[in-house]
Structure 1
Amino acid sequence: MKILVINCGSSSLKYQLLDMNGEKLLCKGLVERIGIEGSRIKHDTTGKDRVVIEEPMENHKVALGLVLKALVDENHGAIKSMDEIGAVGHRVVHGGETFSSSVIIDDEVMKVLYECAELAPLHNPPNITGIEACKELMPNTPMVAVFDTAFHQTMEPDNYIYPIPYEYYEK
């Protein structure tokens, strides 16, 4: 199975396409300056030279569309068809106390992600934007959210509550 992994920032998007049969990196890339003049994709397919695609990208959906196009490009792509991608993994910074592990993204998960946006205001909104763009462009591909905060779910409450004022924890 091939997995597309996406990490959306406020004006950037990092991605990797992995073949889980053999755990091989097929390609990776970085989209810079989304919504800013001079936007570009640095696309690296294993065994091929780096390609830099300079094109206006006014939002994450446009940027992701160009990434998907690069993945299947006959000269520098890593796959022949988008149908080869079995799932998309999205890095999400903060899942609050709700998510203790990765989850398949559905409407209920999206609702909770919106509720958690204020917990990581610089990170979660772009993560959500990337998920929404991907769902539009790849509507039949399963999406999974992988949370940075899932690691901390195994901590004892004393360890994560004690170091901060309790009102911060309550938020």
Structure 2
Amino acid sequence: MAGVLSGRLDPEEHARELSEHGVPEELHAAFPGHGIGGLARAMGIRFTELTPGRAVATMPVEPNTQPGGILHGGAHCVLAETLASSAAGVHAGPERFAVGVDINATHQRGIATGTVTGTCTALHLGATMTVHEVVMTDEQGRRLSTARITNLLRERPSGA
């Protein structure tokens, strides 16, 4: 597990990054030392809401496109897993962390410009597992894709 939890940020950088990406200060403990993560940072994901039962974030379409000029299907999955794993982490508390074990996504509509909003809703918040549904929409509220993510909740190793 040590490799999973490596790459810690210094405390000031950690707090700054989380705040810049919309994570409220009272939830920083759900992201112990690792910030929002390099992929979410690179994709421009910004949280607007984050609780165990509901999380919302936005992501720009550009530069997250595939060669055909529309938002890459993998980008939908990154947004969905970022939301669900973060919500699961808030549910888990600082003594545990969430590990994604399953994701499936169905893409209903393409998008070439603008901003995507992901809305994550808990379907199950258990002691060892969470399941969330994430719906991605465009700026007009049209559904772009639907994903379901399962996270396993693990005990954080001591000193991590």
* Structure index of larger Rg: 1
Structure number having the greater strand percentage: 2
Q: More helix per residue: 1 or 2?
A: 1
TM-score, normalised to structure 1, is 0.24
